[in-house]
C-alpha cells in the first residue's frame, strides 16, 4: 500500500511567522506532528511519503503515486485543504481526512472519501486493517479518549528537520478548565491524559539522535493540566538534559495558575523552558466571567505575568475581543495591559464561535450565528461569525486600531524594553552559531531594509540590549525578528487613525 500524507498550507496568520522565516532562513515554523504520528500508526510494511505544502509544492505526480492520500488539517488550513481534495478527485485518487478541521466542519467536505473523526491511536489502526482487506468505511469515529501510551514516536525521517524553526512533541491532551469559546475539551476532554515519562524521553531521544539541537514546542492544550505528573516529567527531563552536552530549549502552552506554583515554575526553567503561551484573554473581569475563565480571576493577571517572567519564562499572551461584556473602552484597556506587562508576542483575536463549543451552542440558540469561521481569528472577514452585543463595525474598527497600535514600531520596541526589565533568565542566553547567523541577518532586515521609524527603534534597542540586558540578548533578538513578521501583517503605517477617538496611550 502506498500512502501519501499531505499537510495543507497554513493561512498567513499570526502563527505562520511567514516574514520571520525569511530572516531565520527556514521554510516553516513547525512540523506536521499529527501527520507524522499518523504515519507511525500505519503498518511498517506500507510505503509512506509526506508533503508539507508549507515547505514543498504538491505535484500531481505525488498524488498519482499514492493509493490513498491522507490529509491532516486544522481549521486555518481550510482553503488549501479544499484545493487538495479537488485535485485528488480530478485525478481519481482516494482521500482520507482527519484532524480538527474535519471534525468541526465535517459537512463542508462531502467529497472526502473517508473520514477519521476522533483520536488516531484507536481509529487509524482500524482504518488500516480495513484498507488491507479492501473494505473501507466512509467514516471512523469515536468520542472516547484513549490513553496516550498507545501513541507512537512520530516518523521524523519523512521530513527534513532543517526545514523548520522548531520541533514539536506532545505530552498530554485535555484541559481541566471549560472556557465557553474553547473546543479543546470537545476534542480532547476535561481530564488531562499524559504520556509515560519514558515515552516522552524516547521522543526527545529520537529528535536528538537525528541531530536536532534547537527548540522544542510541547504542543499540549495545557501542559500543566496534571501538575503531579508534569512535575515528575520535568525532573526526568532535567536529568536527561544534564546527561547531554547540548541542551534543548522548550516552550509550551499553560494556564495562568502556573504563577501560583513556585516549584512548578522552577522545575520548568531548570528543565530548559524559556517561553510559555498563556490564554489571558482580556483585562475585563466581566468578560472573563462571561466566558467561564474563572482561573484568570483568582489573582491579578498583571502580577501573574510578572511572576512568570521574573522566573525566567517569557510570556506569550492570547487575547480576545468581542465578548458581550466587553466595555466600550476595551480596545484601550487591551493596549494598556499588554504594554504595561511587557507581553511582546500578543496574539489578539476576534471572538469566534467554533462548532461544538458551549459558545456556539448558546449563540445558535439565540439565533446569532451568521457564518462558519475561516479559522483565522485575526481576519475580520472570517471571524466574529455571530451578531455581537457591541456594534459590529465598532468592534472591527477598534480591533484594527489595537493591532495597528501594538505592532507599530514605537509600541513594539517599548514593549520589548518592558519585558527585558521584568525578565530574569536563569542563565545568560548566549548566541549559538545558528542564533548568531540569525542575528547578523536581522541587522540587515531590521537595521537596513525595514522602514525608517522601525530602523531607528531597532538600533536604539540594540544599544540598550548590549549595555544593560546582555543576559537576555538572545531573547531580545528573537523578539525583534518576531516583530518584523507582525509589522508586515498588522501595521499600516505611522498614522494610527483612531488616536483622536481614544485617550492617550500609556508610555
Question: Domain containing 276: what range?
Answer: 148-418
Would you say residue 131 lies in a domain? yes
Would you say residue 475 lies in a domain? no
Would you say residue 49 lies in a domain? yes
Specify whether 158 is located in the same domain as 59: no
Specify whether 69 is located in the same domain as 165: no
Lowest mean pLDDT among 108-112, 125-129, 136-140, 487-491: 487-491
Specify whether 123 is located in the same domain as 191: no
Residue that terminates a domain, selected from 99, 115, 141? 141
Specify whether 312 is located in the same domain as 176: yes
* pLDDT at residue number 383: 79
- Mean per-residue pLDDT for 203-218? 97
Would you say residue 482 lies in a domain? no
Specify whether 161 is located in the same domain as 230: yes
- Mean per-residue pLDDT for 1-30? 91
* pLDDT at residue number 494: 58
Query: In CATH, what number is assigned to the domain containing residue 91?
Result: 3.40.50.280
Residue that terminates a domain, selected from 87, 119, 141? 141
- Mean per-residue pLDDT for 405-415? 96
* pLDDT at residue number 16: 81
Specify whether 123 is located in the same domain as 254: no
Specify whether 121 is located in the same domain as 218: no
What integer best gives the mean pLDDT of the chain? 93
| pLDDT band of 433, cuts 50, 70, 90 | low
* pLDDT, tens digit (0-9, with 9 covering 90-100), for 273-330: 999 999 999 999 999 999 999 999 999 999 999 999 999 999 999 999 999 999 999 9
Specify whether 404 is located in the same domain as 350: yes
* pLDDT at residue number 129: 97
* Nearest residue to 304 (alpha-carbon basis) of 337, 351, 269: 337
Would you say residue 479 lies in a domain? no
Query: In CATH, what number is assigned to the domain containing residue 372?
Result: 3.80.30.20
Number of domains in the chain: 2
* pLDDT at residue number 177: 95
* pLDDT, tens digit (0-9, with 9 covering 90-100), for 25-38: 999 999 999 999 99
Residue that terminates a domain, selected from 418, 451, 469? 418
Q: Are 464 and 386 in contact (CB under 8 A)?
A: no
* pLDDT, tens digit (0-9, with 9 covering 90-100), for 352-381: 999 999 999 999 999 999 998 877 788 776
Q: Give how far the C-alpha of residue 150 lies from the chain's centroid of Cα atoms, to the nearest Å.
A: 24
How large is the angle between the packed helices 330-341 and 392-406, nearest 10 degrees? 20
Distances from the Cα of 387 to the Cαs of 162, 368, 392, 436, in angstroms? 45, 5, 8, 49
Q: Of all residues in the chain, what percent carry a pLDDT higher than 70?
A: 95
Specify whether 195 is located in the same domain as 86: no
Would you say residue 160 lies in a domain? yes
* pLDDT at residue number 429: 57
- Mean per-residue pLDDT for 192-199? 97
Specify whether 247 is located in the same domain as 317: yes
* pLDDT at residue number 431: 59
The number of CA neighbours under 13 Å toward the Cβ of 482 is 20
Specify whether 18 is located in the same domain as 154: no
Specify whether 389 is located in the same domain as 372: yes
Amino acid at each position: 500500500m502506498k500512502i501519501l500524507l499531505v499537510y495543507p498550507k497554513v493561512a498567513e496568520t499570526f502563527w505562520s511567522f511567514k516574514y520571520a522565516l525569511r530572516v531565520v532562513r527556514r521554510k516553516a515554523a513547525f512540523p506536521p506532528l499529527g501527520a507524522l504520528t499518523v504515519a507511525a500508526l500505519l503498518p511498517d510494511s506500507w510505503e509512506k511519503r509526506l508533503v508539507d505544502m508549507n515547505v514543498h509544492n504538491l505535484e500531481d505526480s505525488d498524488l498519482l503515486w499514492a493509493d490513498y492520500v491522507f490529509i491532516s488539517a486544522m481549521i486555518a488550513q481550510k482553503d488549501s485543504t479544499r484545493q487538495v481534495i479537488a485535485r485528488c478527485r480530478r485525478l481519481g485518487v482516494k482521500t482520507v481526512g482527519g484532524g480538527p478541521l474535519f471534525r468541526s466542519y465535517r459537512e463542508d467536505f462531502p467529497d472526502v472519501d473517508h473520514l477519521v473523526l476522533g483520536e488516531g491511536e484507536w481509529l487509524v489502526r482500524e482504518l488500516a486493517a480495513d484498507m488491507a482487506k479492501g473494505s473501507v468505511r466512509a467514516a471512523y469515529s469515536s468520542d472516547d479518549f484513549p490513553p496516550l501510551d498507545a501513541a507512537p514516536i512520530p516518523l521524523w525521517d519523512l521530513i527534513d528537520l532543517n526545514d523548520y524553526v522548531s520541533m514539536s512533541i506532545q505530552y498530554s491532551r485535555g484541559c481541566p478548565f471549560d472556557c465557553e469559546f474553547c473546543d479543546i475539551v470537545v476534542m480532547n476532554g476535561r481530564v488531562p491524559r499524559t504520556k509515560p515519562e519514558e515515552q516522552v524521553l524516547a521522543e526527545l531521544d529520537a529528535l536528538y539522535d537525528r541531530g536536532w539541537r534547537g527548540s522544542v514546542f510541547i504542543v499540549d492544550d495545557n501542559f500543566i493540566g496534571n501538575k503531579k505528573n508534569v512535575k515528575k516529567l520535568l525532573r526526568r527531563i532535567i536529568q536527561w538534559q544534564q546527561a547531554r552536552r547540548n541542551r534543548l530549549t522548550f516552550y509550551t502552552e499553560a494556564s495562568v495558575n502556573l504563577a501560583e506554583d513556585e516549584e512548578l515554575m522552577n522545575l520548568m526553567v531548570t528543565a530548559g523552558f524559556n517561553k510559555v503561551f498563556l490564554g489571558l484573554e482580556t483585562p475585563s473581569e466581566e468578560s472573563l466571567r462571561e466566558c467561564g475563565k474563572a482561573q484568570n480571576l483568582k489573582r491579578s493577571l498583571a502580577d501573574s505575568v510578572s511572576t512568570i517572567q521574573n522566573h525566567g519564562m517569557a510570556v506569550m499572551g492570547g487575547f480576545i475581543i468581542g465578548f458581550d461584556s466587553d466595555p466600550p473602552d476595551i480596545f484601550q484597556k487591551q493596549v494598556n495591559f499588554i504594554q504595561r506587562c511587557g507581553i511582546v508576542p500578543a496574539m489578539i483575536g476576534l471572538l469566534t464561535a467554533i462548532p461544538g463549543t458551549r459558545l456556539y451552542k448558546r449563540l445558535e440558540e439565540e439565533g446569532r450565528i451568521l457564518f462558519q469561521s475561516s479559522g483565522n481569528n485575526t481576519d475580520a472577514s472570517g471571524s466574529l461569525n455571530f451578531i455581537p452585543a457591541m456594534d459590529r463595525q465598532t468592534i472591527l474598527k477598534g480591533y484594527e486600531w489595537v493591532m495597528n497600535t501594538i505592532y507599530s514600531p514605537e509600541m513594539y520596541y517599548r514593549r520589548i524594553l518592558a519585558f527585558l526589565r521584568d525578565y530574569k533568565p536563569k542563565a545568560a542566553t548566549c548566541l549559538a552559531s545558528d542564533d548568531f547567523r540569525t542575528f547578523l541577518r536581522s541587522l540587515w532586515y531590521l537595521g537596513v531594509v525595514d522602514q525608517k521609524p522601525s530602523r531607528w527603534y531597532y538600533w536604539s534597542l540594540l544599544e540598550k540590549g548590549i549595555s544593560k540586558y546582555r543576559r537576555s540578548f538572545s531573547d531580545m533578538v528573537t523578539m525583534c525578528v518576531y516583530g518584523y513578521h507582525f509589522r508586515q501583517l498588522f501595521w499600516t503605517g505611522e498614522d494610527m487613525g483612531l488616536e483622536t477617538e481614544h485617550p492617550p496611550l500609556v508610555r
